[in-house]
Amino acid sequence: MGIINCIFLLILCARANYFLLSLAEDCQLLTKIPKVKCLRNSRREGLIRSRVRGADSATAEILTFLDSHCEVNSEWLQPMLQRVREDYTRVVSPIIDVISLDNFAYLAASADLRGGFDWSLHFKWEQIPIEQKMSRTDPTQSIRTPVIAGGIFVINKSWFNHLGKYDTQMDIWGGENFELSFRVWMCGGSLEIVPCSRVGHVFRKRHPYDFPEGNALTYIK
Ligand SMILES: *[C@@H]1O[C@H](CO)[C@@H](O)[C@H](O)[C@H]1NC(C)=O
């Protein structure tokens, strides 16, 4: 447990009814868990401003971002921390396994994928190029990736600040992973997937909540 300084739980208040029901009680219960600090937005702020708030509150030198709908495996964190300790300009993510939306079954994802995107800036997984695959002599070697998926990653806090954190004008999610990835490359850093680290993630078929300005407009922004 010594490697974790503090866990911030961010309560985003994405649903109006949720906000009315629970008020401050959820934080009181959650902070009974060791090392947990709870930050609750008083109004809906969306993922990006909430994450920046969490990052600003953290005192540790290395930040780990995790979606709430994730489940980590044992010793998932150390391999990523090591890569960032060796070089603070590395931004690393685990292999993201799939937790079934319908029955929570755990399905291992392929270890031959990296992040990519299409012309409409939708994130998609792609096969790592054959040359890169052939040159891999050790399956534990990290995989260089053009972009990270965005939900789960480890970054040095001062590097995150140096990059300008996130653009807090973004309202929901879907573009922040590209924005951060491009900044990393433009500032001389690198992005990678660490195969020794695996985290399960519930992939949703659609957004579970509405966007005030409409889905398309918010997404484009
Ligand atoms: C984080 O990066 C800074 C440089 O920006 C470096 O001085 C520091 O040692 C790094 N921290 C860790 C834990 O690697």
pTM: 0.85
Q: What pLDDT, in 10s, does the model give residues 182-221? A: 999 999 999 999 999 999 999 876 554 555 555 555 544 4
Bigger pLDDT: 68 or 181?
A: 181
Specify the pLDDT at position 206: 56
Query: Which atom of ligand 1 lies closest to the CA of 158?
Result: 5
State the distance from the centre of ligand 1 to the C-alpha of 218, rounded, in angstroms. Answer: 35
Cβ(61) – ligand 1 distance below 6 Å: yes
Query: Which atom of ligand 1 lies closest to the CA of 159?
Result: 5
In whole angstroms, what is the distance from residue 155 CA to residue 58 CA?
12
Q: Tell the residue nearest (CA) to atom 3 of ligand 1.
A: 158
Is the pLDDT at 19 greater than 60, yes or no? Answer: no
State the distance from the centre of ligand 1 to the C-alpha of 51, rounded, in angstroms. Answer: 20
Q: Tell the residue nearest (CA) to atom 6 of ligand 1.
A: 88
Is the pLDDT at 167 greater than 60, yes or no? Answer: yes
